[in-house]
């Protein structure tokens, strides 16, 4: 997740930088495209992100019979009580994180169950699963930072709290839109026969 999701985000952030600069962002002389190109390779080397996603599904989810991943969900869910005690400033983050964790846990459990039945169905959803799982972990880390920010207070605390709120309300809800993709199965990906594949 640290490798694949962060590099995917690097590509999105540098692409967004081009967009913000408008036409000038596309022009080499502005220097912006070089940032995009430098970020783009990171999703390919050190294990392509597609392979990292299949590693997550094929090797990591099954660690210690699945208990390693389920323990992580329990750890993440345990922050709810701290967020509740943190007051109204944290209410938005708390609710977005609880919803996201429930959704992602359901998809992870679907993959664990169906991966045993037919690995092709689990692997077909590996990339969206990696994305939604990473978003959930990042949301949890943002919530931890929000807790620290509230206790620090001041301008620095307020800035970090807004960053965490932005992430949890604007980015984290993406997980809900990824569930159908995770569980769609391999059917549409495997529609071509061996003969058709050979002729492509």
Ligand X SMILES: Cc1cc2nc3c(=O)[nH]c(=O)nc-3n(C[C@H](O)[C@H](O)[C@H](O)COP(=O)(O)OP(=O)(O)OC[C@H]3O[C@@H](n4cnc5c(N)ncnc54)[C@H](O)[C@@H]3O)c2cc1C
Residues noted as catalytic: 46
Distance from CA of residue 142 to its chain's centroid? Answer: 13
Closest C-alpha among 124, 134, 130 to residue 172:
134
Token pair, residue 13, equals 């952030």
**H-assigned helices in the chain:** 4-21, 23-26, 32-40, 49-55, 67-77, 79-85, 91-117, 119-124, 126-152, 154-166, 174-182, 194-199
Residue with smallest beta-carbon separation from ligand X: 50
- For residue 48, the minimal CB distance to ligand X (Å) is 3
Can you give the binding site for ligand X, defined by CB under 6 A? 41, 44-45, 48, 50-51
- For residue 99, the minimal CB distance to ligand X (Å) is 31
- For residue 41, the minimal CB distance to ligand X (Å) is 5
Token pair, residue 110, equals 């679907």
Cβ proximity to ligand X: between 49 and 165 the closer is: 49
CA distance 18 to 20: 6
Token pair, residue 45, equals 């080397």
Cβ proximity to ligand X: between 122 and 147 the closer is: 122
Cβ proximity to ligand X: between 81 and 192 the closer is: 192
- For residue 129, the minimal CB distance to ligand X (Å) is 14
Contact (CB, 8 A) for 89 and 161: yes
Cβ proximity to ligand X: between 48 and 169 the closer is: 48
User: How does DSSP classify residue 186?
Assistant: S
């Amino acid at each position: 997740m640290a490798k694949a999701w962060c590099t995917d985000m690097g590509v999105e952030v540098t692409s967004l930088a081009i967009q913000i600069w408008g036409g000038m962002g596309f022009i080499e002389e502005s220097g912006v495209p070089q940032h995009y190109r430098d970020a783009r390779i990171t999703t390919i080397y050190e294990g392509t992100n597609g392979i990292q996603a299949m590693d997550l599904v094929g090797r990591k989810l099954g660690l210690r019979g699945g208990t390693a991943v389920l323990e992580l969900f329990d750890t993440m869910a345990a922050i709810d009580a701290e967020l509740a005690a943190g007051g109204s400033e944290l209410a938005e983050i708390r609710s977005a994180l609880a919803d996201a964790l429930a959704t992602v846990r359901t998809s992870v459990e679907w993959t664990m169950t169906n991966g045993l039945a037919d690995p092709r169905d689990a692997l077909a959803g590996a990339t969206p699963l990696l994305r939604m799982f990473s978003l959930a972990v990042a949301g949890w880390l943002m919530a931890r930072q929000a807790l620290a920010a509230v206790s620090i207070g001041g301008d620095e605390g307020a800035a970090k709290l807004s960053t965490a709120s932005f992430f949890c309300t604007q980015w984290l809800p993406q997980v809900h839109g990824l569930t159908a993709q995770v569980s769609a199965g391999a059917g549409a990906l495997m529609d071509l026969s061996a003969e058709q594949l050979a002729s492509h």
